[in-house]
Structure 1
Amino acid sequence: MSDVLARLGEHRLVPVVVMDSASDASGVADALVAGGLPVAEVTFRTAAAAESIRVMAARGDMVVGAGTVLTASQVDEAADAGASYVVSPGLSRSVVERCAERGVLALPGAVTASEVMAALDMGVTTVKFFPAATSGGAAAVKALAAPFKDVRFVPTGGIGPKNLHEYLSIPAVHAVGGSWMVPRGLIAAGDFDEVQRLTAEAVALAGKEALV
């Protein structure tokens, strides 16, 4: 699990993908890898999620996880499909414990000091900060990071090219989640060339921020 976390930190970006059809999974995976970002968080917001994870994970060249995981049974579904990490919008003990049982990394949501402390009690030291934009943004992440020196954050929600630097400049930010490089409409239209272009742009932007 530490290896998965390290790989997410290496890329600094986590594409949050909503799949309406598993038939598009190969195209999305090809576009992400070709764009220089072999990472995907496939959300459990659609019925195509598990099969899409299965297709992407089977490639062997991507870090594939499941997002919007709300229950322990969804953890099982994600793990069975090949997900190596599980992301939740909030903090659920049953989800975190099932992730530990299944050997997958848990990234639960936490946006308050109390939630971060609860996550620490569960053995979690990297949390999703969601929804970032409406929970105080980068300033809130900085404020939370101050008393929790050993906690890392993955802000997600309302983040794009214009404000990416605000988050990546924070030492406590492990990676940033976003969907701007994988728009649902482009995926549905099968425009994977555009997805690849947007992904490459995002990777280049994140690289520039790392040099600042």
Structure 2
Amino acid sequence: MNIETKQQHVETTMRLAPVIPVVIIDDARYAVPMARALVAGGIPAIEVTLRTPAALDAIRAIAAEVEGAVVGVGTVLSARDLHAAEQAGARFAVSPGVSPGLLDAADNSALPLLPGVATAGEAMTLLERGYRHLKFFPAVPAGGAKLLGAWASPLPQLRFCPTGGISLTSAPDFLALPNVLCVGGSWLTPSDKLKSGDWTGIEQLAREAVLLKGVMA
């Protein structure tokens, strides 16, 4: 699969819903009911971050058992991460930044990558490598919606998924930008709801997030 085909897959995933949940999961037993709640609420794309030992098992379970879910892997830092996630059944990968080694590994992997950038220079470097769909991270500390909006004119080829410090309240500021297709957010799967098994509450958060489509450019 070449870079253009993989970028098309990334774009399709980004357009599934206004928000991609960024999930930190401590117990893989929560994965399937959590994912089913998100899908029922209208949020099919789910990023499970490699920040806990349970992450790969969670991805494996969602990929195997949750119809309608498009499960991806986040916090990808290396070729080993890409390979492990692909073996677990992930359908896309997200990185907080980029390195030459990670980009080389992505070239040799079938897993589509949504790489992270924080500066215009990083975005230009990735554009040279064929990437048109990027993660803007950490969105709020790096400059927020004003900075990302300022990139729209000089970098019209690029589309972004801003992630980092975004909430239901601030998401509309980003989604209204012409160069934003979706946002990433951890507020859809808060740790207290995961630990208490409040799947109805997570489904409701997903339904609220879907309504953000009305503010999109």
CA deviation after TM superposition for structure 1 residue 144, in Å: 1.9
Partner of residue 24, structure 1: 30
TM-score (norm 2): 0.92
- The offset of 1:20, in angstroms, is 0.3
Q: CA deviation at 1:60?
A: 4.4
Q: Is the 8 A contact 2:17 2:182 kept in 1?
A: yes
**Unaligned segments of structure 1, at least 5 residues:** none
Deviation of 1:197 after TM superposition, in Å, equals: 1.0
Task: Pick the aligned partner of 1:191 from 175, 194, 198.
Answer: 198
Q: Name the residue aligned to 1:12.
A: 18
1:80 aligns with 2:87: yes
Query: 1:173 aligned to 2:155?
Result: no
Unaligned runs of 5+ in 2: 1-5
Q: Deviations over 1:29-78 (max 9, x none)?
A: 11101111111000000001111111111234211110111111001111
Aligned-pair distance for 1:114? 1.1
Identify the residue that residue 50 of structure 1 maps to in structure 2.
Answer: 56
Aligned residues: 210
CA contact (8 A) 1:37 1:199 kept: yes
1:63 aligns with 2:70: yes
Amino acid at match of 1:130: F
Give the root-mean-square deviation of aligned CA atoms: 1.4
Match of 1:201 in 2: 208
Name the structure 2 match of 1:141: 148
CA distance in 2, matches of 1:147, 1:155: 18
2: CA distance between counterparts of 1:128 and 1:3?
15
Give, in whole Å, the separation in 2 of the partners of 1:16 and 1:161. Answer: 13
| TM-score normalized with structure 1 length | 0.94
In 2, Cα distance between the equivalents of 1:39 and 1:123?
23
Partner residue in 1 for 2:3: none
Distance in structure 2 (CA, Å) of the matches to 1:4 and 1:146 = 22
**1:35 corresponds to 2:34:** no
Structure 1 residue ranges, 4+ long, deviating more than 6 angstroms after superposition:
none
Cα distance change on mapping 1:60 and 1:96 into 2, 3 Å: farther
Instruction: State the secondary structure of the residue aligned to 1:182.
Output: coil
1:124 matched to which residue of 2? Answer: 131
Q: Distance in 1 between matches of 2:19 and 2:168?
A: 12
- Between the aligned partners of 1:152 and 1:113, the Cα distance in structure 2 is 13
**Given the alignment, which residue of 97, 108, 117 partners 2:115?**
108
- How many angstroms apart in 2 are the aligned matches of 1:75 and 1:3? 16
Amino acid at match of 1:50: L
